[in-house]
Amino acid sequence: MSAKAISLYCCVPAAFLLFFAHLNNPTTSFLRALLDLATPLLPFNFLTVHYFSNYHRHRGSYDPLCDDFPPDFPPPNTAATSIFCVDPNGCCDFTTVQSAVDAVPRSSQKRNVVWINKGIYFEKVTVPATKPNITFQGQGFDLTAIMWNDTANSSHGTFYSASVSVFAAGFVAKNISFINVAPIPRPGDVGAQAVALRIGGDQAAFWGCGFFGAQDTLHDDRGRHYFKECFIQGSIDFIFGDARSLYEILCLQG
């Protein structure tokens, strides 16, 4: 049996399209138009999420150009830490999160920080067991998101439908959202489960993160995990799995 402890239950009203207020390029314009059409189907309630995100957000301008980066960023690598910078506009070495993860050395003992600039990254991401000690550092969970749309039907099983799957130990995520935008299932639908995050590595931690989906949102698969100041939205056992996890100061919305 899994062991889970949740210290606080609360809800924050919200609206998902806030993500797009600060984005302006052809890709995000297309996604804006697409989600404008899909918004009535989305289970997300995502407008006033600033309660958590403002505290953690990078203190920079919202101009999407490269000159809004922090001074002297990214910092040089050290003996203990390496930085992998991701930006959808090409202002960094990587434009996708998965390409940054792929660049992390196997079995690294360093803390490998994947710094993810604001934007929506429409991709399916996997952190394999051979890539421990990775951090995903977003810029606020209402500004930075990894999004995909698989279901149990399309991916041959609920476990494989996750937008982001993490199997490595020592994973950390801060100020970022994990989203599955598969449609809300209709009564009687089979195979519509759509996981936003599957976390199966040991000793993982999440601070100021969002998890959004229509069904089976957070697959807390196995290992020891810590969640603090996170927003989790879904329906029908939307936190499930066999992990031993502690949840503190959460907002849960069904």
Question: Which bin fits 72, alpha (ψ -120 to 50), beta or left (φ > 0)?
Answer: left
**CA diameter of the chain:** 54
**Could you tell me the sign of the dihedral formed by the alpha carbons of 10, 11, 16, 21, in that order?**
negative
- Give the whole-angstrom CA distance, residue 76 versus residue 104: 15
Two tokens at 19?
């993500």
Active-site option among 63, 102, 189, 237: 237
Q: Which of 169, 163, 156 is nearest to 200 (CA)?
A: 169
- Give the whole-angstrom CA distance, residue 181 versus residue 69: 29
Structural contact between residues 83 and 132, judged by C-beta atoms closer than 8 angstroms:
no
68 catalytically annotated: no
How far apart, in Å, are the Cα atoms of 64 and each of 30, 50, 229, 240?
16, 20, 27, 37
Structural contact between residues 22 and 118, judged by C-beta atoms closer than 8 angstroms:
yes
**Pairing state of beta strands 164-166 and 81-86?**
unpaired
Distance of alpha carbon 96 from its chain centroid, rounded? 13
DSSP letter for 143, please: T
Structural contact between residues 59 and 86, judged by C-beta atoms closer than 8 angstroms:
no
* Residues that are catalytic: 237
